[in-house]
């Protein structure tokens, strides 16, 4: 009986967190436009760090490429149910367009790996300093999770673009 009550409480916490995310628009923001002013973001959410220039009729680009993930909304669930909603905006730095394309193709798997890696750590406090998200630990956890599902050479850096925390 106690287990059923706890499951109902957990389900209610998730439902409230999801409803709050939907009502506030979290997770539905556009992904383009997070690049620096020198960058160009294409329709696939990839940007190139340096400007392309003409060289004998051929466009060349130098620098890194970035793949922007859709905002990731995570509930922080404690012993008494949902405590906070954390929204992360993440970009992955890759070496070239081929790596960017591979990353985009794996996006559902990437989002699942990141969500799975962060969910428990945010809830148990190992990825937080008090109530605040510990960004360096989160980056390490995401990097490790991505290393388990794809070649380590594809993603060279994980960039946390923004963090929003909302106490429930």
Q: Is 17 within a domain? A: yes
Residue with tokens 């956890």: 141
Rounded to the nearest 10 degrees, the angle between the axes of helix 97-105 and helix 107-124 is 70
Distances in Å between the alpha carbon of 82 and those of 13, 76, 122?
5, 6, 11
Q: Is 40 within a domain? A: no
Distances in Å between the alpha carbon of 81 and those of 8, 10, 21, 77, 124?
10, 6, 16, 5, 12
Q: The domain containing residue 97 runs over which residues?
A: 2-30+65-167
Q: Which stretches of the chain score pLDDT less than 50?
A: 1-5, 7, 10-12, 15, 17-39, 50-61
Q: Is 53 within a domain? A: no
Q: Is 152 within a domain? A: yes
List the Cα angle 23/27/31 in 5-degree steps: 135
Alpha carbons 71 and 163: distance in angstroms, whole number: 10
Number of domains in the chain: 1
Query: Which pLDDT score is estimated for 49?
Result: 52
DSSP H or E stretch at residue 162: strand 155-167
Q: Is 45 within a domain? A: no
Q: Is 83 within a domain? A: yes
Cβ atoms of 14 and 82 closer than 8 Å: yes
Query: Which pLDDT score is estimated for 123?
Result: 86
Residue with tokens 């367009």: 97
Q: Is 74 within a domain? A: yes
CATH of the domain at 12: 3.30.479
Query: Which pLDDT score is estimated for 51?
Result: 37
3-state secondary structure of 167: strand
Structure tokens at 142: 């995401």
Alpha carbons 47 and 155: distance in angstroms, whole number: 14
3-state secondary structure of 141: helix
Q: Is 49 within a domain? A: no
């Amino acid at each position: 009986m106690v287990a059923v009550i706890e499951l109902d409480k957990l389900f209610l916490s998730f439902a409230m967190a999801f409803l709050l995310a939907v009502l506030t628009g979290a997770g539905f923001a556009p992904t383009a436009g997070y690049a620096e002013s020198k960058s160009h973001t294409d329709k696939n959410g990839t940007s190139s760090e340096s400007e392309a220039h003409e060289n004998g009729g051929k466009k060349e680009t130098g620098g890194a490429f970035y793949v922007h993930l859709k905002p990731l909304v995570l509930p922080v669930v404690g012993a008494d149910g949902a405590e906070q909603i954390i929204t992360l905006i993440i970009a992955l730095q890759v070496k070239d367009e081929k790596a960017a394309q591979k990353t985009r193709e794996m996006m559902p798997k990437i989002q699942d790996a990141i969500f799975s890696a962060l969910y428990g750590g945010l809830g148990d406090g190992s990825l937080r300093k008090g109530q605040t998200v510990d960004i360096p630990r989160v980056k390490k956890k995401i990097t490790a999770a991505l290393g388990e599902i794809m070649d380590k050479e594809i993603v060279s850096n994980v960039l946390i673009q923004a963090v929003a925390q909302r106490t429930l």
